[in-house]
């Protein structure tokens, strides 16, 4: 993590996703444990309240973090054929920090939810090799 270039802040990363449009807090349900045993694989589920019809659906769901070396986590593209705007994955958190889930709806609106996660240290930290 000794890169010289500074990463964009969480706010900058969100702005580049939304193109500077207003983001409303709501409609996004963000499931992530507030306290995790290991930051290497943190389960997350994002569910957006949407009928997921051709006229009214979620187009994209994005995840951004506050303190990893890079702000982006993932961008998911979905549409009416998804039936439900719900996505799960597992993410890396280098340290305790905030994570934001954003949804872009077909009418061009942006919705979000933020969570703070405390990452506890494993007892033995083993870096790369076993050698």
Partner 1 sequence: MTRALVNVPKTAKRGEVIEIRAMIQHVMETGYREGPNGVMIPRHIIKRFVCKYGGEEIFSAELFPAIAANPFLSFSAVASESGTITFEWTDDKGETQTASADITVT
Partner 2 sequence: MLRFVLLAAVAFSSMARAEIPSKDKRSGFDFMSPQTQAMQSDETSNPGMLWVLDGERMWSESQGKAEKSCASCHEDAAKTMRGVAARYPAFDEQTKRPIDLAGRINRCRETRQDAPPLARESNELLTLSAYVAYQSHGMPITPAADRRLDKYRENGRAWFERRLGQLQLSCASCHDDRWGARLGGSVIPQGHPTGYPLYRLEWQAVGSLQRRLRGCLVGVRAEPFEYGASEYVDIELFLMSRAAGLKMETPAVRP
Q: Which residues bind partner 1 (CB under 8 A)?
A: 1, 3, 40-42, 45, 63, 65, 68-70, 72-84, 86-93, 127-129, 131
Q: Residue 121 binds what, of partner 1, ligand HEC, partner 2, none (CB under 5 to 8 Å, by partner type)? A: partner 2
β-partners of residue 103 are 61, 111
Q: In this chain, which stretch among 7-15, 68-76, 108-116, 123-131 interacts with partner 2, using CB under 8 A?
A: 123-131
> Which candidate, 105, 75, 103, places its Cα nearest to that of 91?
75
Could you say whether residue 122 binds ligand HEC (CB under 6 A)? yes
Site size toward ligand HEC, by CB under 6 A: 3
Burial classification of residue 34, based on how many CB atoms lie within 10 Å of its CB (0-12 exposed, 13-18 middle, 19 or more buried): exposed
Residue 89 phi/psi, 5-degree rounding, is -155, -175
> Could you tell me the CA-to-CA distances from 81 to 52, 58, 67, 78, 114 in Å, in that order?
8, 11, 34, 8, 27
Q: What does the alpha-carbon distance between residue 63 and residue 128 come to, in Å, rounded to a whole number?
A: 27
The least distance separating ligand HEC from the CB of residue 125, rounded to whole angstroms, comes to 9
Tell me whether residue 116 or residue 120 sits nearer to ligand HEC (CB atom): 120
Q: Residue 36 binds what, of partner 1, partner 2, ligand HEC, none (CB under 5 to 8 Å, by partner type)? A: partner 2
The least distance separating partner 1 from the CB of residue 120, rounded to whole angstroms, comes to 17
The least distance separating ligand HEC from the CB of residue 121, rounded to whole angstroms, comes to 9
């Amino acid at each position: 993590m000794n890169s010289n270039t500074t990463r964009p802040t969480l706010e900058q990363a969100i702005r580049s996703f939304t193109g500077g449009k207003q983001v409303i807090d709501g409609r996004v349900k963000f499931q992530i444990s507030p306290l995790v045993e290991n930051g290497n694989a943190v389960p997350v589920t994002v569910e957006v309240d949407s009928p997921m019809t051709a006229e009214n659906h979620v187009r994209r769901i994005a995840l951004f973090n506050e303190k990893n070396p890079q702000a982006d986590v993932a961008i998911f593209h979905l549409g009416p054929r998804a039936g439900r705007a719900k996505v799960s994955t597992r993410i890396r958190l280098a340290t305790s920090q905030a994570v934001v889930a954003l949804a872009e709806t077909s009418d061009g609106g942006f919705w979000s939810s933020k969570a703070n996660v405390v990452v506890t240290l494993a007892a033995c930290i083993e870096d790369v090799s076993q050698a």
